């Protein structure tokens, strides 16, 4: 039988997600040419010519865009959920995070250096042009008009390339994030159905009450079996009483005809040992669906499993 694979089990998910995050953050961090529809640069550079000073000054506004904030928040939420569902991969994710942080500390410095080099070249050219224009004026005392700096470079050659690159990489990243989010939701729903998130359905008071009730049910079952009453009836009554107790506090248990196998994950979600729960499940099924006689050695096995569960539950109270 072919094993069903899950998105969370793919080792390449961290690599794929990390690459997409790097690409989208680099795109968001660049100052795109004005005029590209739908793209807003994270920082705007404005050059001002001051009176009687033939130098250019520029100011930068680095206010993050809303898209950048939403992406970071979504990334943090997905990371937390991913690590909750996959604690074994926490170390790998931490190393990946450290790598990304280091990467983003280096790349902006390189980009800033390249931008400053280009700016200095353009400032030198514009300063020379300003000196020529100033020498031709009759009145050297006239105030210089303050105008925003405009880059004269022809942008038509790379405008289309920026648009295609931006939307193509954004689409890939959005697709990966959506698939990741869908699988997170599917995984949470699956875990809830399996009972592994059982305690998240209870508040603190109801959880303590539930543990007390289950402990009392198991103690009563031990007493019934120990007094040599009908073992089959004692086991069936134990199962029905446990089901009734959990139904009162766990909203996910709605079906009164829940089978023993379906009920097993609910008991496991309480923190009981899987070996004891498996033993009880087997004898729940045997008592409920089979006509075979439960032997004395089997009675001892059931008693030991119930006692182990009671000891475990008492430690939780």
Number of domains in the chain: 2
Same domain, 85 and 234: no
Half-sphere exposure of 242 toward its Cβ, with a 13 Å CA cutoff? 29
pLDDT of residue 108: 59
pLDDT of residue 200: 41
Q: CB of 159 within 8 A of CB of 35?
A: yes
pLDDT of residue 157: 46
Q: Among 194, 226, 256, where does a domain finish?
A: 194
Which CATH number goes with the domain that contains 239?
Answer: 1.20.120
DSSP structural state of residue 35: T
Same domain, 102 and 206: no
Q: Give the span between the Cα atoms of 82 and 14, in whole angstroms.
A: 10
Q: CB of 225 within 8 A of CB of 302?
A: yes
Same domain, 52 and 99: yes
Same domain, 162 and 262: no
- Please tell me whether the overall predicted TM-score, pTM, comes out greater than 0.75 for this model: no
Same domain, 217 and 268: yes
Same domain, 187 and 213: no
Same domain, 156 and 227: no
Residue 14 structure tokens: 């961290």
pLDDT of residue 135: 56
Q: Among 194, 225, 244, where does a domain finish?
A: 194
Residue 201 structure tokens: 């359905």
- The alpha-helical segments, DSSP class H, found in the chain are 12-29, 66-85, 90-135, 156-194, 204-226, 231-249, 260-268, 274-289, 296-316
Instruction: Flag whether 178 is in a domain.
Output: yes
The answer for 228, left when phi > 0, alpha when psi is -120 to 50, beta otherwise, is left
Instruction: Flag whether 1 is in a domain.
Output: no
pLDDT of residue 214: 84
Q: Give the span between the Cα atoms of 143 and 52, in whole angstroms.
A: 8
Same domain, 305 and 175: no
Instruction: Flag whether 257 is in a domain.
Output: yes
Q: Give the span between the Cα atoms of 212 and 218, in whole angstroms.
A: 10
114 — phi, psi (to 5°)? -65, -40
Same domain, 174 and 27: yes
Q: Give the span between the Cα atoms of 119 and 60, in whole angstroms.
A: 13
DSSP structural state of residue 11: T
Instruction: Flag whether 2 is in a domain.
Output: no
Same domain, 170 and 55: yes
pLDDT of residue 50: 47
| Structural domain range at position 255 | 202-316
Instruction: Flag whether 56 is in a domain.
Output: yes
Same domain, 190 and 249: no
Q: Which long-range contacts (CB under 8 A, 24 or more apart) does 13-19 make?
A: 13/180, 14/89, 14/92, 14/93, 14/96, 16/176, 17/176, 17/177, 17/180, 18/96, 18/99, 18/100
Q: Among 174, 194, 214, where does a domain finish?
A: 194
pLDDT digits over 102-132, tens only?
555 565 566 667 767 777 777 777 667 666 6
pLDDT digits over 145-193, tens only?
444 445 454 444 445 565 566 666 655 656 666 666 666 677 666 666 5
pLDDT of residue 240: 80
Instruction: Flag whether 124 is in a domain.
Output: yes
Same domain, 267 and 121: no
Which of 285, 234, 162, 147 minimizes the C-alpha distance to 277? 285
Instruction: Flag whether 170 is in a domain.
Output: yes
Which of 157, 288, 306, 170 minimizes the C-alpha distance to 225? 306
Q: Give the span between the Cα atoms of 312 and 270, in whole angstroms.
A: 10
Angle at the Cα of 124 from the Cα atoms of 122 and 130, rounded to 5 degrees: 100
Which residues of the chain register pLDDT less than 70? 1-112, 115, 126-127, 129-184, 187-207, 228-229, 247-263, 317
Instruction: Flag whether 182 is in a domain.
Output: yes
pLDDT of residue 149: 47
């Amino acid at each position: 039988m072919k094993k069903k694979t899950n998105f969370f089990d793919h080792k390449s998910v961290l690599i794929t997600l990390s690459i997409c995050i790097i690409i989208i953050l680099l795109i968001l961090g660049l100052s795109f040419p004005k005029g590209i529809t739908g793209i807003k640069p994270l920082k705007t550079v404005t050059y001002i010519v001051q009176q009687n000073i033939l130098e250019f000054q520029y100011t930068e506004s680095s206010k993050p865009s809303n898209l950048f904030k939403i992406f970071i928040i979504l990334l943090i939420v997905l990371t937390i959920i991913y690590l909750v569902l996959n604690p074994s991969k926490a170390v790998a994710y931490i190393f990946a995070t450290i790598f990304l942080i280091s990467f983003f500390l280096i790349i902006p410095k390189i980009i800033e250096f390249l931008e400053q080099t280009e700016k200095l070249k353009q400032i030198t050219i514009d300063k020379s042009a300003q000196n020529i224009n100033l020498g031709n004026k009759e009145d050297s005392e006239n105030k210089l008009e303050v105008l925003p700096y405009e880059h004269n470079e022809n942008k038509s050659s790379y405008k289309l390339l920026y648009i295609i690159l931006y939307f193509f990489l954004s689409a890939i990243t959005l697709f990966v994030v959506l698939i990741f989010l869908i699988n997170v939701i599917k995984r949470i729903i699956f875990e809830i159905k399996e009972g592994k998130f059982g305690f998240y359905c209870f508040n603190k008071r109801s959880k303590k009450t539930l543990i007390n009730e289950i402990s009392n049910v198991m103690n009563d079952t031990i007493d019934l079996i120990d007094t040599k009453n009908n073992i089959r009836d004692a086991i069936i009554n134990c199962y029905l009483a446990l089901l009734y107790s959990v139904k009162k506090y766990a909203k996910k248990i709605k079906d009164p005809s829940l089978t023993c196998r379906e009920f097993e994950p609910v008991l496991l979600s309480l923190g009981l040992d899987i070996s004891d729960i498996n033993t009880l499940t087997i004898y729940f099924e045997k008592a409920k669906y089979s006509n075979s006689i439960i032997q004395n050695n089997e009675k001892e096995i059931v008693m030991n499993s119930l006692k182990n569960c009671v000891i475990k539950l008492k430690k939780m109270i």
